[in-house]
Amino acid sequence: MKKLTLVAAGILCVLMLAAPVLAADTIKVGAILAVTGPASFLGAPEAKTLEMMRDEINKKGGIMGKKIELIIKDSGASPEKALSFAKQLIEEDKVLAIIGPSTSGETMKIKNVAEEGKTILLSCAAAEVIVSPVAKYVFKTPQNDSLAVEKIFGQMKKMNIRKIAVLSSNTGFGQAGKAQIVKFAPQFGIEIVSNEVYDKAATDLTAEVTKAKASGAEALLNWSIEPAQAIVIKNARQIGFKGPIFQSHGFGNIKYVEAAGPAANGVIFPAGRLLIANSLPKSNPQKAVLMAYKKDYEKKFKEDASTFGGHAYDAMTILVKGIEKAKSTNEEAVRSAIENLKGVVGTGGIFNFSPEDHNGLSIDAFEMLTVKNGKFAILGK
């Protein structure tokens, strides 16, 4: 009987050690990204970036001795899939945090689920409504669309542009940006003489840009993240629109320039400094981070680093900093630590979070860029 008791005790010890040890030695991080589908130009570089960072972190011993277990779900940019995956990651996988989704519509779909599940959400989408009003567990890394609009309108004012035509896609990002454009235009003395919304899957926008041209607009401002933004440029030039074409901060992927071809030359848009990292002086506080990420990503994946992959880089960096500051993997401790992070240098800018600001970036995070000979360049240089 004694021998059986000892055997049973030994089995119990083995069972106790088996499953929990892995859980205790890993930090589960979920990611909902549009790796495939119409927004794959966002989600694919985000997924690659997170996988690269996971490997680098784990190779160095992890965080506080714990390896990162990364669980990536491909939403295909579907808000419904994003919602299903969010519930799965929170309820079944018990992740500490979710990075993503890639798009604003998806993020707004799962925002309440993350909040109710007390799970940290670090969105890679840009719409300001994601963090305004502030939700306790929800953060985002791209710059606010209101700041992008202000940056664009400031440039238009310098160029004495008074009348503009606005085009936007029928997505969460497009709708949120359009609202900010309408809100800030009067403050900068700008009149919107044409305001057209198009389908995100549009393949021909000749009708929309023709209306813009007929309205007497001095410049065109497009707000979208889809490939259609390259079509806007091509169609506008094809019908003979000669004025400046402005894009949102969703233009930060060289593939859009390639898709628009020569018509893209002269396009103006605000962006973080990753796209012009090589041109920054050594004294710039972001230079070292930008160059390291750019070098590592391009060496590993043989493609240009994009603003969008940078959003995922910033999200993982912020999560790691939060864990290190909290010295814990307790959700509330890490959330509180993130909310009080200051001076975190990322690809999108220098983050200074607070209980009132879950984006942490100012208008200084932007540079005004343009396209010269098929390449991104600082406007005016």
The pLDDT mean for the chain works out to 93
pLDDT at 9 over 50: no
Question: 86 Cβ partners below 8 Å, 6+ apart?
Answer: 32, 98, 110, 113, 114
Do 79 and 18 lie in one domain? The reply is yes
Number of domains in the chain: 2
State both tokens at 168: 């936007």
Give the CA distances from residue 381 to residues 188, 286, 363, in Å, rounded to whole numbers and listed in that order.
Answer: 25, 19, 20
pLDDT at 23: 44
CA gap 297, 302 in Å, rounded: 8
CA gap 87, 103 in Å, rounded: 18
Q: Which domain holds residue 191?
A: 145-271
pLDDT at 226: 84
Q: Is 2 contained in some domain?
A: no
Please work out, in degrees rounded to the nearest 5, the angle formed at the alpha carbon of residue 250 by the alpha carbons of 257 and 202.
Answer: 70
Q: Which CATH number does the domain housing residue 169 bear?
A: 3.40.50.2300
pLDDT in tens, 245-302: 999 999 988 889 999 999 999 999 999 999 999 999 999 999 999 999 999 999 999 9
Q: What backbone torsions phi and psi does residue 29 show, to the nearest 5 degrees?
A: -125, 125
pLDDT class of 24 with cuts at 50, 70, 90: low
Neighbours of 310 (CB within 10 A): 30
Task: For residues 159-164, give the mean pLDDT.
Answer: 98
First to last CA, the chain: 86
Do 262 and 168 lie in one domain? The reply is yes
Q: Is 374 contained in some domain?
A: no
Q: Is 95 contained in some domain?
A: yes
